[in-house]
Structure 1
Amino acid sequence: MVVRSPHPDVEIPDLSLYDFLFGSLTEEDLGRTAVVDGPTGEATTFGALRAQVDAVAGAVAARGLGVGDVVALHSPNVPAFISVFHGLLRAGVTVTTLNALASGPEVGKQLTASGSKALITVSPLLAQATEGAEAAGLSRDDVVVMDGAEGYSNLRDLLAAGAPAPEVSFDPATHLAVLPYSSGTTGLPKGVMLTHRNLVANVLQSEPYIPLVRDDVVPAVLPFFHIYGMTVLMNCALQQGSTVVTMPRFDLPEYLRVITEHRATVLFVAPPIALALAKHPLALEADLSSVRIMMSGAAPFDAQLAAAVGERLPRARVMQGYGMSEMSPVSHVVPFDRDDIDPGSIGLLVANMVAKVVDPATGEEIEQPAEGTSAPGELLCAGPNVMVGYLGNEAETRDTIDADGFLHTGDVVTVDAEGVFHVVDRLKELIKYKGYQVPPAELEALLLSHPQIADAAVIGVVDDDGEEIPKAFVVRAEGAELSAEDVMEYVAARVAPYKKVRAVQFTHAVPKSASGKILRKELRAA
């Protein structure tokens, strides 16, 4: 049985993301504040932002980049990220966003996999950027350091040329806007192909349930390079004329300062931030009375935590959303005006979406009940926000999107008679550490590169703080003298901090099926 969104379909215009966000700005809009740099307080109006976007597009085109080219953007949340991101799209370029925490080898892998012709970064990340660029065969001339570094082009130099924004033509329904990298349900990171239509659609699909308004102030602490930050914190806010206050990283005192000084009204967070707001002594002393909405996403958020945050934000509606990079990302939200819905649920399907709940063992569809709650099954979703596929990986695309266009999420859910979904388990192997995706296969491949490790497997386990962490099961090579600390240090030196192995257990063998697949259920029971 197909479950449909209770909200009527919304019309999705045939526009590029640039035209959708900036094409209809009025004279009044142009003078309003679009972006504020959190650390300095420097403000940028919508008019100045659009001019910057057009100037970046002109500079990019002058360098010979345009439709069909991929450029990597490697930066934390700073105002220039927004200008450069949308300027690249304005020029017809496809943007692949790099995690600001990525190591040099990780940068190089994504540059190579995406076919990036250039890399735009910031000086604090230059060491990792240059290591990755060199590994991917990019020259120094192909690297732009937005805030400047000796020997590299910078954003000011590019814009000073004053090249006009190019006239570009492409089909928004098929032209790729972004290539974020996701681990999907299993395996190594893959390029998620999202079109301009995908991104425009998801902003409009989310709008009825996340009612941002012109006077809202949104602290942007969740990274723009992640699809949640890109669509919800950046694009949804810009489309509604809200003010975005950028924060390069999460620091609780700074976050609280931004909320109080800027009288922030809408907080988009991941569960660890929600936990800090609910329990940290600094948060208990802060004035959070301006907040009217707090929405959590990127990882499970239970009703108990929602209630604890609600006590700290008495004037705010505490909500939860659900999605994946493969869905641009939002598919479900607890609507702002539905306080009768359990905040521990993922809420209702957003507009224009349909879903199925399928028995993972038999493939049979599970009926939505007339009363009560359904049996659990895998969540399948279809809608205009679902990706085109994985870049250069037709096999994984076929495994993820079926012949009827339904994306298999790998999450096990229930649905009730009112169309409210709860996530109860997951089939996918992906580990979610503080909202970040950690693919076991990537860590396993790295562990196996250690000369003293004969075999290895990685699973997610819950630590004493209730956080899911990567745990490695390691088989020592014959005669090897290897400690748990040695293993963790080896991995830590080669991956982004959130991918670190945080627990190690030595074992005589990794349990595997006859086909060689790791039996993770046996490891979880060990």
Structure 2
Amino acid sequence: MPFRSPYPDVEIPDVTLYDLLFTSLTEEDLERPLTIDGSSGAETSYAELRDQVNAIAGALAARGVGQGDVVALHSPNSPAFVATFHGILRAGGTATTVGAMATGKEIATQLEDSGARLLMTVSPLLDAVREAAALVGLADDKIIVLDGADAFESLTDLIAENRPAPEVSVDPSTDLAVLPYSSGTTGRPKGVMLTHRNLVANVAQAAELLGVRRDDNLLAVLPFYHIYGMTVLLNLAILKRASLVTMPRFDLPEFLRIIQDRRCNFVFIAPPIAVALAKHPLVDEFDLSVVSSVFSGGAPLDGEVGGAVARRLGCSVRQGYGMTEMSPVSQLIPAGRDDIPLASVGVTVPNMECMLQDPATREEIPVPESGVSAPGELCCKGPNVMPGYLNNPEATSLTIDDDGWLHTGDIGTVSAEGVVTLIDRLKELIKYKGYQVAPAELESTLLTHELIADAAVIAGYDTEGEEVPKAFVVLQEGAQLTEQEVMDFVAARVAPYKKVRQVVMIEAIPKSASGKILRKELRGA
């Protein structure tokens, strides 16, 4: 039998995302700061931001953006992103968010595939946008530069028109709210179709378990253009009437300063930031005593690293799991559940059902009466699961089977109490002499070495062309360690077939904005 959340199902309102987040604002809510610019401290209240959202929606409608039209948003985190994102949705449009680091060709591919009719960006990213526009034939009058640039309309121009938001008739169950693109770490990026109901559902599913409160200051360094930042930070914070302290990009000294100076008590991170918090000496130079909760997502967080962060900062550290295709959260460690191991991804959120499936036989793996199950591929159903990939029925059918189960491609176990622990990606498991070796396990082992700052493991090849575990290692500044010493360290801590057999010292591990290791960039090294 499939397993569900230990928590009861929650009510999922049949409304648009805008209606969920903004129509129930009280007079007291309106005066609160919704966004705080981390660098300057400038605040935008809930009232100001709601008015900006409506004005942007009106201006977009005057430019022909209507129900179902796709608008590309290409920007790092800022208060302007928040207003623009929700302005697009309030106009009845669909926001396709573009990674801030995307190249001109990557932007062009997304514009063409999504059918975006308008692109909104910021001046530091304009060169890449112009390259993309030239490739797809997008005219300058279809580009809006939020912070202003010569010959382009700005966000100030749009808001100054003071147009009323249009009347739109959006069906939350079928109309698309957002069209994010998968990271492409396992193939060509695909447009993930997410409806208003998908996003509303996932905010409702995660809201109480996550533990965000009205008076919290949430540090928003994880990008809003990624589904993790979009749902767990941006939308959930608004629902709970918390304040978002925005950072456009991660920089450790600035990150620590903003936590200290802006009193950020709830910090959302990806695992690479956790490694820095656990090991970097700079952390001791700042007063981080305000931090009560750190939540990690986007990629697996090693339990040892998370525990080190908790001890160093004197706070709660938790993590969760999800996919863009699930809006994204399917599992998390709820607030106050210190009994759930940090190495796990927690329990299933309400209104979902999951199962583990043997990847070879496709047979369901039963939930044990006690202890932990055999490993299998995690499969999920729920109101937060996408209807499919844009214009890609083949990819959709490979991900969602005929019975409606979304196959995550992640291998994990489930305990009798419903706690899910992920082992690794199905496609990333290394086959060594018939044994399966999980890169994540070896990466966790490597990170316990005090001289290793970061690590990644992929399948290398021996002289006979057989797969072997190959480690890429980043040393702490000034540290010295040989490849053999690295291999000896791991060999003393794992089964013989799991030993690292090749080591490469590098300056940095390539990672996506969400913190996932870009293994494809390591395979040629």
For the superposition of Structure 1 and Structure 2, which TM-score range results when normalised by the shorter chain? 0.7 to 0.9
User: Which amino acid is 2:335 matched to?
Assistant: F
Q: For residue 14 of structure 1, give the secondary structure of its aligned residue in structure 2.
A: coil
1:212-223 equivalent positions in 2, closer than 5 A: 212-223=212-223
**Aligned mates of 1:501, 1:410 — CA distance in 2:** 17
Q: CA deviation at 1:40?
A: 1.1
Alpha-carbon distance in structure 2 between the residues aligned to 1:302 and 1:377: 20
Confirm whether residue 325 of structure 1 aligns to residue 324 of structure 2.
yes
Alignment-derived partner of residue 125 in structure 1 = 125
- Is the CA contact 2:410–2:426 (under 8 Å) kept in the aligned structure 1? yes
Aligned residue identity for 1:427: L
Residue in 1 aligned with 2:341? 342
For the structure 1 residues 131 and 459, does the alpha-carbon distance in structure 2 shift closer, same or farther, using more than 3 Å as the test? farther
- 1:275 corresponds in structure 2 to 275
Residues 398-426 of structure 1: CA distance to partner in whole angstroms, max 9, x if unpaired?
Answer: 11011222100000000010000111122
What's the CA shift for 1:240?
0.3
Shift of 1:500: 9.6
Shift of 1:324: 0.4
Tell me the CA shift for residue 262 of structure 1. 1.3
Q: Partner residue of 1:522?
A: none
Q: Distance between the aligned counterparts of 1:466 and 1:55, measured in 2?
A: 50
- Kept after mapping to 1: 8 A contact 2:222/2:269: yes
Say which SS state the counterpart of residue 391 (structure 2) adopts.
coil
Which letter maps to 2:472?
Answer: D
Structure 1 pair 381–248 and aligned structure 2 pair: CA distance change class (3 A) = same
Counterpart residue number, 2:472: 463
Q: Indicate conservation of the 8 Å contact 2:185/2:519, yes or no.
A: no
- TM-superposed CA distance for 1:165, in Å, is 0.4
Is 1:284 matched up with 2:293?
no
Name the CA shift for 1:503/1:410 in 2 (closer, same or farther; >3 Å): closer
Alignment check: 8 A CA contact 2:374 2:413 kept: yes
Amino acid at match of 2:87: G
What displacement does 1:460 show? 10
Does the 8 Å contact 1:7/1:350 carry over to 2? yes
Residue matched to 1:367: 366
Instruction: Tell me the secondary structure at the aligned position of residue 231 of structure 1.
Output: helix
> How far 1:499 sits from its partner (Å)?
6.1
* DSSP 3-state at the match of 1:418: coil
- Separation in 2 of the partners of 1:502 and 1:390? 25
Aligned to 1:391: 390
Deviation at 1:8, TM superposition (A): 0.3
Return the letter of the residue paired with 1:17.
L
SS of the counterpart of 2:210? coil
2:66 maps to a residue whose letter is: G
- 1-structure distance, mates of 2:468, 2:323: 20
Question: Shift of the alpha carbon at 1:137?
Answer: 1.8
Aligned equivalents of 2:519 and 2:150: distance in 1? Answer: 32
**Equivalent in the alignment of 1:32:** 32
Say whether the 8 Å CA contact 1:186–1:429 is kept in structure 2.
no
Matched residues in 2 for 1:405 and 1:26: separation?
40
Q: 1:459 to 1:122 in 2, by over 3 A?
A: farther
Tell me the secondary structure at the aligned position of residue 464 of structure 1: strand
One-letter amino acid matched to 2:350: A
Q: CA deviation at 1:158?
A: 1.5
Judge conservation of contact 1:144–1:155 (CA < 8 Å) in 2: yes
The more displaced of 177-186 and 148-157 is 177-186
Q: How many residues align?
A: 456
Give the equivalent residue in structure 2 for 1:161.
Answer: 161
**Matched residue type, 1:199:** L
Q: Which residue of 2 aligns with 1:453?
A: none
Q: Does 1:402 align with 2:426?
A: no
Q: Residue 303 of structure 1: CA displacement? A: 1.2
Deviations 1:256-295 (A, max 9, x none): 1111111111111001111111111111222111111111
Aligned residue type for 1:34: L
C-alpha contact (below 8 Å) 1:278/1:284 kept by paired residues: no
Deviation (angstroms), 1:74: 0.2
> Deviation string for 1:423-455 (max 9, x for gaps)?
11221359999xxxxxx9xxxxxxxxxxxxxxx
Question: Counterpart of 2:482?
Answer: none
Measured at CA, do residues 31 and 422 of structure 1 come closer, stay the same or move farther in structure 2, by a change above 3 Å? same
Aligned-pair CA distance for 1:339? 0.4
CA 1:369–1:81 in structure 2 vs 1: closer, same or farther (change >3 Å)?
Answer: same
Residues 208-254 of structure 1 deviation map (CA, whole Å, 9 limit, x = unaligned):
21011110001100000000000011111111000001100001111
- Give the counterpart letter for 1:249 in structure 2: R
Structure-1 separation of matches of 2:524 and 2:192: 34
CA contact (8 A) 2:327 2:384 kept: yes
SS at match of 1:181: coil
Give the match for residue 207 of structure 2.
207
- Deviation per CA, 1:9-67: give whole Å up to 9, x if none: 00000110001000100001000111011111110000001000000000000101110
DSSP-derived class of the 1:208 partner: helix
Conserved? CA contact 2:41–2:262, under 8 Å? no
Write the letter of the residue equivalent to 2:134. E
**Counterpart of 1:483?**
none
Please tell me the residue identity of whatever aligns with 2:234: M
Secondary structure of 2:427 counterpart: coil
Aligned to 1:405, the other structure's residue is in SS state coil
Paired residues of 1:58 and 1:163 also in contact (CA < 8 A):
yes
The answer to whether the 8 A contact 1:36-1:245 is kept is yes
Is the Cα contact below 8 Å between 1:415 and 1:422 reproduced in 2? yes
**Cα pair distance change 1:78/1:70, threshold 3 Å:** same
Contact 2:205 2:349 in 1 (8 A): yes
CA separation of 1:82 and 1:254: change in aligned 2, threshold 3 A: same
Is 2:44 aligned against 1:44? Answer: yes
Q: 1 CA distance for matches of 2:412 and 2:180? A: 25
CA contact (8 A) 1:185 1:429 kept: no
Residues 123-151 of structure 1: CA distance to partner in whole angstroms, max 9, x if unpaired? 00000011112212211111000111111
Offset of residue 179 of structure 1: 0.4
Q: CA deviation at 1:462?
A: 3.9
Shift in Å, 1:186: 3.8
Tell me the equivalent position of 2:252. Answer: 252
1:498–1:275 Cα change, 3 Å? closer
Deviations, residues 68-120 of structure 1 (Å, cap 9, x unaligned): 21000000001100000000000000000000000010010000010000100
Q: Distance in 2 between matches of 1:156 and 1:242?
A: 25
Task: Report the counterpart of residue 437 of structure 1 in structure 2.
Answer: none
Contact 1:119 1:133 in 2 (8 A): no
**1:505/1:322 CA distance change after superposition, 3 Å:** closer
Q: CA deviation at 1:498?
A: 8.6
Q: Which residue of 1 aligns with 2:453?
A: none
AA of the residue aligned to 1:397? T
1:504 CA drift (Å) = 6.3
The 1:14–1:34 alpha-carbon spacing in structure 2 relative to 1, beyond 3 Å, is same
Q: Which residue of 2 aligns with 1:75?
A: 75
Indicate the residue corresponding to 1:485 in structure 2.
Answer: none
- CA 1:40–1:138 in 2, change beyond 3 Å: closer, same or farther? same
Matched AA of 1:413: G
2:473 is paired with a residue whose SS is coil
